[in-house]
Structures are given as structure tokens and as C-alpha cells.
Amino acid sequence: MIPSDRWRQVKALFAEALDRAPDARPAFLAAACPHDAALRHEVEELLAADAKAASFIEEPAMLVPGASAPDVMAMPSLHVGDRLGPYEIVEFVGAGGMGEVYKARDPRLGRYVAVKVLVAAAQGHAALARFDREARSASALNHPNIVTIYDIGGASSGLESVAYIAMELVEGCTLRNLLSGGALPTDQLLDIAVQIADALAAAHSKGIVHRDLKPENIMIGGDGRVKILDFGLARVDVAHSRAAGSVMSGNADHVTQAGTLVGTAAYMSPQQASGATVDFRSDQFSFGTILYEMATGRRPFQRQTAAETLTAIIGVDVEPVGDVACGLPAPFQWIVTRCLAKHPEDRYASTELLARELVIVRQHVERPPSGSAARVHNLPSPRTELVGRDRERSSARELVLKSDVRLVTLVGLGGCGKTRLAIQVATDVVDRFPGGVYFVGLASATDPSTVASAIAQALNLPLKSGRSFMEVLTAHVKRAPRRPTLLFLDNFEQVLSAAPLMAELLDAWPALKMLVTSRAPLHVRGEHEFRVRPLALPERGALTSVEQLGESPAVALFLQRARAAAADFASSEDNVRAAAEICARLDGLPLAIELAAARTKLFSPVAMLARLNNRLQLLGRGPRDVPERHRTLRHTLDWSHELLTPVEQKLLRRLSVFAGGCDLEAADAVCNVKGDLEVDPLEGLASLIDHSLIWRSDRSDGDPRFHMLETVREYALERLADSGEDAPVRRAHAAYWLVVAEEAEIDLASSRSQAAWIDRLSADRDNIRAALDWLAVNRNAEWGLRLCNALYLYWMSCAPAEGRNRLSFFMQLPGVAAMPKLLAKALSTAGGLALDQADFAAAAELNEQALDLHRELENSGGVLVCLNNLAVLNREQGNHTAAAALFLDIVHLLQKIGEPTSVAHAMSNLADVIRAQGDFPRARAVQAECLAMSRETGDSAAIAWSLNHQADIAHEQGDVVGARGLYEQALEMFREQNNQSAIARCLVDLGGLARDQGDVRAARARYLEALSRFHELGEVVELARVLEDLVACALDERRWDRALRLAAAASALRDTLGSRLPPSRAARLESHLAVARNHVEHTAAAVAWMEGINLPLESLLAYAQEKSEV
């Protein structure tokens, strides 16, 4: 061992040498040790070892349950029961190249500790210095996220002396272990990130720079607590330390000098990688690398070799984290980008600021801002009061809210009131689930594989093209926020084999709870069954008064529904006692009681009781192996069914094919397709309403819509199958929606009744999906492709990703090649949707395939569509020469065909590209020619658009007066034509003109009018675009936080639709956001963005119109 005085002298010289550049150290040592070559040699050994940057031990002080010890040190130096100073060795944990880690017990305090032991072969001066530095660095920090040092010392082990550090034992796993499963869920990522940042901020405030931050040096305890380990490479930034007011040992090391390479290659900063001087901002870069890996599952700069990795760190820009992993909050992406800035001055001025921004993001991910909106839910609105379920309601609510309960299944036979009770319970607990309460109706589901799609749709998850619903759902679960969320799955008995999926969701999504209704349990781990019994009945044989009978839950339900059915219903003693007997005969089943109560329009309870008695006697001879209560419900439904005329029975079973209801026209078209219904549909529907088998709602336009209770629908579907009409009626249903869609296609293409069509198709989206599902099951590619093609413009406005996925399925069915015309149109339709999503690679491939096929078929119309899509694609990508050539090809082809109206449209598009190329005189000349052609053909819409495009040219040339006049002429014509979509687009153009003039108030007014019109039309993509224009207005008014909120809201809308901004608009918007962020404190920018992204649509519109604040 080196004498202590000698060792103090070596350390002092070593510290002073580190203060100097490497090339100045030899002269310093020659002057400091002129006659002591041994002393100089010892210091040089320390400097050489320091340059190698090897930590004295690479394994963290941890205990990983179930983990085996590494093979590096097959024979540990110490054994169970050995003593090292005061510590008793309990277990060998791991070993690295220079040291070993043990779990030990400190009998003095009765606690377990981790003991790091320096192996004998590594006990040189440099290793001892690094060993000493780790202990001093970590012990100077008192922070819950930094491992606590308890003791440092030396002891004898056998014939050798060993140095050791006793520290806090962290039981859990390293972040590296956690990342072995890929990217982390967003809430878990942020939770870990906040703790790491807080620990780094504490270290940096003391002037301590870790220099080797990596997933292997970060422990995650069983309770989720993060601990940073291994300060073996830590340095003290003396200037930063003094500024922070910290007190360090006089022998503390200083920041790394130029030429020294320290750290782990993949996580080094550019300054470390190039051997330059580093400070606390180097740790920020390493932290950014870890954030990137946690978010994406991959290291940002990883290459084949360490040298290539270091080169990438120094000179290669990383792919934006948001491009690799979707769904990350924008402020988090900003944080990662700033941490990974190549130059230290572009990172954070303090790590405390970095930690504060992460806290802001986490807070808004965990819970929406308090003023943002009411709790999110899509629960059905109950049409009647819940009667007689106070006790069950309270018990079920209590069970759902228990912290250790994740899955509650309300189990009971059909018609016992499970759904109505569950809706009430879910409504009661909405405020306890800030992540939302989502209703998933499965009554019409028969295929377990559709459960994932139903859940994804209920959660409003954006469906990305090329990804299945299961993939979308899995991706969401990985990034789902930690806010408590309730999923309400109704009628799960239809898809019981999907129960394992529910268990997987619960395992993967810790904040999720499920409330399920089913006739049978799911039988998965952790399920809590809640049996829903029939309503309580009066005690038989008891001398009960009329008042007491009326208070019985079952009787109270009957009386309430009877009063609703017949306004003159009297609660006489005879009626009440008969009602009590009816309820008893119906075993207290709510649905059966409601159906019976509806008969009070026709029979008094006394008369009804006699008929019911006869009916039950007749049915009592049925199967004995069916539970009595199941038979009772079916008896009631059978009885209700037999009270119908044969014609009404036919109508009821045929109506059952509708999902989510229907209007009168649809009912007539589907149920009376052969003219064999033998009753006026309206009269038949009214009769079924009187029998309480269907119910009516009124749409916003006043037209009625008819719905069927799900249990009744299930019964009616059985009757439909028994009748042999199932296939023809479902075919009629699909045919009807095909006709509707193809009619809508024509009107939407000509901008006629656009708002009405989008509203109608949205109201019947479930019916359209049911038709597509039936066509898919029956592999009917022809009708499937026709229906998908007809929905193109609707999907473009409301659901482009869903449209592409549906098309993709039908295009891959066998036999599609034998329908080349349909396939060609489907390819161009999918290509158009991809273009609208700014998925340019897919758009090019699909349109090229379609173009080839249309040319083979000599289909000039299809060729024109594809050429137009490809021309627009090139224009959006900035390939103006290619775009102009394609538009010119279109003009020539149309001239050859002889369609002057279309020629004018194509020339207008060509002129627009010429304008983008900067050739304004030629663009103006071409537009003038277009205008003349349109006037000659009398095409008023084309005239208006030509004026609008001429205004674009004048606007770009700076001719404000001319541009305004042309825009206003176009707008007046659009108003005369009642072309609402064109009016809105022209208003946007006028808004842009006003903004360029500096008249922000006028610009905002134009944009807001356009916003309202697009909202009325249901054009959600255009809503996002106008919001992005309003961002520019907010910037002009220096309302930076407003600009960020509006941009965030637009981003959320696009995410929901699966729609991306074209590169040109994306670049412009990003420049706007950069301006806003530069004028707002970083934490305030993060807050504004997270507030905007959580705004529901109606609240967003009110905020945009300045009718409310966030």
C-alpha cells in the first residue's frame, strides 16, 4: 500500500495536471517533480488510466429478481457469509472488468446494502482514484433519484486488502433491461424522464457532471423509483460548482480537458466524441439520446462500429423523433431536439429548466387542463330512468372504483337490465376517469377479430394506412397516458373467444379498467363477476298493501312504463295487484316487464294477466333443459312477437339488419325490396313503436330515425335466420347502401348538397361498415370495390385512412384481376386518398399502377384521373416542371377527346403550376384563355374558379387591389351557385390577402367564416387547414401562446384523421411555430401546446372564434 502522505501528494499533482491541456502536462510534471522520477511516474500512470476512461466497475449496484450472475466472474472473490468490514456478504450480484457487486447486510443497522469491491487486479493508482471519485461525487448529492453512498473503506479478504463502497441497494432492473422490450409507453417514458432530469439537475447544481449517462447506469426500482448509478467518470465543473454555491473537497477533479475521450460511445455528446472540453450540457445530450431510445426503441446514432457511431454523433443530424414514433407530444419532441443539438449553447442553459419542461408535459399527458372541457365519454344517453336498482348501482360503482379491481363483468341473462345498469354506473364514475369513459357496443359483432376494430373506433384512434386495427390498438396501448381510463364493452357474450385480448390490454395498459356486460363471464385472470339479478318482487303470500306493492322495484318499473305508454293508466288496486302478479310471472326481468307494460295501450293489467297465464301454460311444455328465466324472456319476446300481425313480424325481422338504426327511406328500400311487405312501411314502423319493439329519435333536420333494442334485435335476427330471408335481406341492405353511396358520389363530385350528404353518410357509418363487413365475409369484391370507390370523396373529408384500408382488403381478394375496370378505379381511389394524406410514395405507386391499367383498358377517363393525381403529387413535392408536363398531357388528351369544359379546368391547373414557377405573364395569359373558354361553354363554376386563380396570380405579384376585386367577383359567383365548399375556400384566399396587407382583423374574420362553413360541411381536413392559417394571424398579433394552442389543435385533428401536412405547408407551419416558441418561455410553450391538443372540437371552435378561453 502507498503511504498516506505519498498518496495525498500524488492526488494533488494529478488534479493539477488535469487542469492543463494534455500537451502542457509533461512540462508541468518535469517542473513539479525535478528529482522524483517515481512520483512523476505514478502521476503519469494516473493520467494514462484516466484517458482510457474505464469505469472501475460496469455493473450497477442492483438486484434483479430471477437474474443470474454474469459469466465474467465465474468465481467471485467473496462468498456468502464472508465479512467485509462490518458487512456480511449475502449474495453475489454481478461483476465487470474491474470490480464485483454483492448484496450484503449491515448488522449494526439491520439493513441490506450493495457493496462494490475493487478486484485485486484493478487496484492501481488510477482505479483507486476513480473509486474515490465515485464515492465522493455520489455522496455529495442527497437526492431521491441518485443512489445513496453509505460508506467507503478498505478491509482484508483472505490475504489481500480490498477497497469497497457500501451504498443503497436498489431492487429492480436497469433501464437497459426495460428497453429490451422496445419503446416505452408515453406515460412511463415521461415518468422515468422526469426523475432522471431531476437527478441530473441536482448533480449539475453541485457542479457534478456524470459523463457516462446510459441505460445501464439507470436503475428502476420495483416501486418505479429511478436511481442514477456509477459516478465513476464524474467530474466537477469548478466554475459551475462555485456558481451554485456548492462545497467540494479541495482535491476535486475538474472538467475534462481537450483531447480526453471519456464515456460510452453510443451515448457520448459531440464534445465527448471529439475530445473537446465538456460541461453539464454534455449530460443533456446523453440524456437526449436516452429519451430518443425510450421513445422509439432504437439508439439515434448507432452504427456498425464505435468509430462510425462517434462520427455520426459529431456530424450527422438525427431523424426527428416524431418521424420515428407517432403520437409523441410535440413539446416532448422539442425537448429531445434541443437536448440533441450539436452545439452546447443550443441546449438548455440549466438542467433545471429541462426538468421543469418535462414535468409540464407529464402533467398534461396524465390529465387534461382543468378548464379544457368536461370529461370525455361516448356513453349512450338513457331514454328512461333507472328504476329499482339503487343497491346494485351503489355496489357496482364501488367495485369499479376499487384500486385493486381492473375488470368488472356484469353477468346475467338477456333482458335482466345489465346494459342499463352499466350505463348508469359508467355515467356515475365519469369524473373519476380523466382519461375518458368509452362505450364499445358489441351487440352486432359475431367475429371476435372485430373487437379490436370496435375498441379502436370507440377510442377515436387514427387508422394509419397499411396497419390493422390490432396494430393501431397495440401502438396506442404502448403510448397510452397514465390517466385512469374506463372501457365499457357491452354484449360481450357475442365474442367470448376475444377475452384473452382483453387480458392483454389490461396487462399492457396499467391505467385501464374495463366494465363489461355479458351473459357469461370472460374467465380471465383478475375478473370480478357482478351478478345482475332480476328486479326484486313482492314477497308471495304476504299481506301487502297497494302502496307497498307499488314500491317493489319490479312493480314500480311496470307502473312507470305503463303510465308512459298510456296517459290515462290508473293505479287502481286491481291494476296494481295484477301488475304485481304479472311481474312475478315474468320473474322480475326488466325487459319482459317493459314489454308487458307497453301492452297497457291494448289491455288493462287484469286482462293482460289472463292472456299471459294462457301463454305461459302453453309454453310451459317447452324444453326443460333451458333455465327457467331464459325461457321466461323468450316467452315474453315470443308473446310480443305473436301479438304482431304476420306483416309486422316480417317487418321486424327485416329491420334487424340495420346497425345503429335507419330512416324511413332505408327501411322501405331494404324491407320491401320485392314489394312483398303488404303494409305501408310508416304504418308498420308506428305499430312496432306502439309494441315497444323499436323506438324513434328525430334528426337535426326533423326527419325521424328508427332504432331497435339490442335484445329485440338479436331475437329478430334469429327470426330472420329461421325465415330463410337472411341472405337476401342482407344483400338488399348492402345494395341499398351501394346505391346511396353512388348517388352521393355524383352529388359530392359536383359540390351539390355536400353538407347534407356528409351528414347522412356520417349518421349511417355503422350501416355502411356493416354492409362492407358482410361483403367482406362473403368475398364480394365487386360490390365491395364499388362501394369503396363511391365513398371516395366522403372518406377524403372524414376518414382517409379507413378508406385506404377497406380498399386494400377488397383489392386483394381472389378474382379481382378479372374485374380490371373496378380494380383500376380502386387503385386510383386509393392513390387519391394517399395523396390527400401526403403519403407521396404510396400515392405515386398506386396511381402509376392505376394509370397502366387504365391505359390497357383504353379508359381515357381513368387515365385523366391518374394523370391529374400524379400532376398534383409533383406540384405538392415542388417538382413543377414534371407537374406542368403532366397537366399539359391532360390538356392535349382532353382536346383530343373533345371536352372543352374539362380542357378549361386542366388549363387552369396548368396555369397554377406556371404561377408557382414564377412565370406570371404566361400564367395570367393561360388563365385568361381558360376564362374565355368557360364563358363560351357557359360553365359558371369554371368561370368563378378561373377568376379565383387569376386573383392568386395578382396576389402573388403584389397587385392587392386587382387580387381583391377578382376574389370578390369569384366569391359572389360562388354564393349565387350556393357552392358552400368553394365559398369557404375563396374566403380563405381573401383571408390570406388581408393578412399580407397587414389587416389581421379582416383576415381573421374571413378565416373564421370559412371555419364555420367547413364545420357545417363536415370537412374536417379543411378545418385543420384553416386553424393553421389562424396560427399565422395569432403570430401577427404577437399572441404566441394562442398560436401554439391552435397549431396543437390542428395537429390533433390531423392525427385523428390519419392526415399529414404536405411538405411545403409543414415547413411553413414549423417556421411559424419556431417563431412562437422563441417568444415564449419553453415551459409556457409546452403548456400552451398540451392545452390545445386536449381541446374537444366544439370547445376548439369556440376558442378559435374567441367565444371562450382555454
SS3 768: helix
Model confidence at 125, pLDDT cuts 50, 70, 90, reads low
Nine cell digits for residue 979: 357552392
Count Cα neighbours of 246 within 13 Å in the Cβ-side half-sphere.
22
The residue ranking higher by pLDDT, 495 or 4, is 495
Could you give the angle at the alpha carbon of 864 between the alpha carbons of 862 and 865, nearest 5°?
A: 65
Residue 509 has pLDDT above 60, yes or no: yes
At the topology level of CATH, where does 173-366 sit? Answer: Transferase(Phosphotransferase); domain 1 (1.10.510)
pLDDT score of 94: 75
At the topology level of CATH, where does 390-531 sit? Answer: Rossmann fold (3.40.50)
Pick the range with the lowest mean pLDDT from 12-26, 354-368, 406-420, 696-710. 12-26
CA–CA gap between residue 147 and residue 859 (Å, rounded): 73
Nine cell digits for residue 818: 378479372
> What architecture does CATH give domain 646-724?
Orthogonal Bundle (1.10)
SS3 520: coil
In the chain, helix, strand, coil percent, each to 5? 60, 10, 30
Pick the range with the lowest mean pLDDT from 110-124, 228-242, 756-770, 1013-1027. 228-242
Mind listing the pLDDT tens digit for each residue in 585-601? 887 888 888 888 888 87
Q: Determine the residue type at 316.
A: V
Find the farthest-apart pair of alpha carbons in the chain and give their distance in angstroms, rounded.
124
Residue 466 has pLDDT above 80, yes or no: no
Nine cell digits for residue 260: 480526453
Choose, from 187, 212, 668, 773, the residue flagged as catalytic.
212
Residues near 182 by beta carbon (within 8 Å), at least 6 away in sequence? 297, 478
Residue closest to 842 by CA, chosen among 820, 869, 861: 869
Mind listing the pLDDT tens digit for each residue in 1015-1062? 888 888 889 999 999 999 999 999 999 999 999 998 888 877 767 777
Average pLDDT estimate for 734-741: 96
Residue 3 has pLDDT above 80, yes or no: no
pLDDT score of 629: 45
Mean pLDDT, rounded, of the chain? 83
Rounding to the nearest 10 degrees, give the CA dihedral for residues 922, 923, 928, 932.
100
Residue 625 has pLDDT above 80, yes or no: no
The residue ranking higher by pLDDT, 145 or 373, is 145
At the topology level of CATH, where does 979-1110 sit? Answer: 1.25.40
Give how far Cα 381 sits from Cα of 378, 419, 420, 439, Å: 9, 12, 10, 11
pLDDT score of 826: 96
CA–CA gap between residue 12 and residue 32 (Å, rounded): 11
How many C-beta atoms lie closer than 10 Å to residue 195's C-beta? 22
- Specify whether the backbone of 263 is left (phi greater than 0), alpha (psi in -120 to 50) or beta: left
CB 1024 within 8 A of CB 1009: no
Average pLDDT estimate for 403-432: 89
Average pLDDT estimate for 438-463: 80
pLDDT score of 674: 86
What is the residue extent of each domain of the chain? 4-52, 62-168, 173-366, 390-531, 546-642, 646-724, 979-1110
Residue closest to 654 by CA, chosen among 676, 687, 631: 676
CB 481 within 8 A of CB 366: yes
Q: Determine the residue type at 708.
A: M
Known catalytic membership, residue 212: yes
SS3 998: coil
Chain centroid to CA 928: how far? Answer: 48
Average pLDDT estimate for 943-964: 92
Nine cell digits for residue 669: 328500400
Percentage with pLDDT > 90 across the chain: 38
pLDDT score of 664: 93
What sign for the dihedral angle of Cα 782, 787, 788, 790?
positive
pLDDT score of 48: 67
CB 1088 within 8 A of CB 1080: yes
Average pLDDT estimate for 831-843: 90
CA–CA gap between residue 706 and residue 720 (Å, rounded): 18
Residue 887, beta-bridge partner list: none
Q: Which of 159-173, 394-408, 557-571 has the highest mean pLDDT?
A: 394-408
CB 357 within 8 A of CB 1082: yes
pLDDT score of 175: 93
Average pLDDT estimate for 470-489: 78
Nine cell digits for residue 1011: 371555419
SS3 539: coil
Residue 495 has pLDDT above 70, yes or no: yes
CATH number for the domain formed by residue range(s) 62-168:
3.30.200.20
Say whether 173-366 and 62-168 share the same fold: no
